[in-house]
Amino acid sequence: MNDKRDGSIAPTPTRGPIFLKHLRRPRSVPQRGHRVFATTTVRVSKVINAPLRYVYDWSTDYRADDWRIQHADPAKLKFRVFPVSPHRVVRIRAFHRDSQDPEIAVDVVRLNPPADWHTDQIDERDRMALDYHLVRLGPRKTRLELYVTERWVTRNYPTPRELRQQVSRTWDLFSAALEERYRSGAPARG
């Protein structure tokens, strides 16, 4: 008990077995921390039929309903977006599978308009750094150059070829949605 008879509170011990009792690591935390099993870097390039500014604005419009772009079930995939400043965004993604606890990913985004942005993503399986660069190819054509570096903290990870295909398929989906929105005359943001 921490209470003294005079009403003051005794200091918490800072060493010895009582102190060490509070420092024991929970059993669910790995004893050696996060080990990196592999690091993979891939480059993906996509040509998008829309002006550079439109592509940049659409791609950096982080919103809570971003699950719609991926045609995901809103009951399973949720986004929370926190604009920190005009050039910084934090996004949290929760994906609910069959288990009770969702898979969580946190994206820290640094915007460098008009043609670059960077994302650092942390999730339960990897640590990812994504560098995006846009190149104007014409008045209505833009090339996206995407560099992805993933550090895998699980023994199950894709080959570089599989990772490149996964990123390419994702951006095929995104660029189709972006081009459709551009052709409809809708603004890039909102």
Q: Any residues with CB less than 8 A from the CB of 188 and at least 6 apart, and which?
A: 53, 54, 55, 57, 58, 61, 181, 182
Q: Any residues with CB less than 8 A from the CB of 3 and at least 6 apart, and which?
A: 9, 10
pLDDT surpasses 70 at 65: yes
Domain borders along the chain are 34-184
pLDDT surpasses 60 at 32: no
- Residue 138 phi/psi, 5-degree rounding, is 175, -175
Q: Any residues with CB less than 8 A from the CB of 80 and at least 6 apart, and which?
A: 64, 91, 92, 94
Q: Predicted confidence band at 87 (pLDDT cuts at 50, 70, 90)?
A: very high
pLDDT surpasses 90 at 171: yes
C-alpha to C-alpha distance for 111 and 190, rounded to whole angstroms: 17
Q: Which has more pLDDT, 70 or 98?
A: 98
> What is the architecture, at CATH level 2, of domain 34-184?
2-Layer Sandwich (3.30)
pLDDT surpasses 80 at 17: no
- The pLDDT value recorded for residue 1 is 47
pLDDT surpasses 90 at 100: no
CA-nearest of 59, 61, 62, 92 to 78 is 92
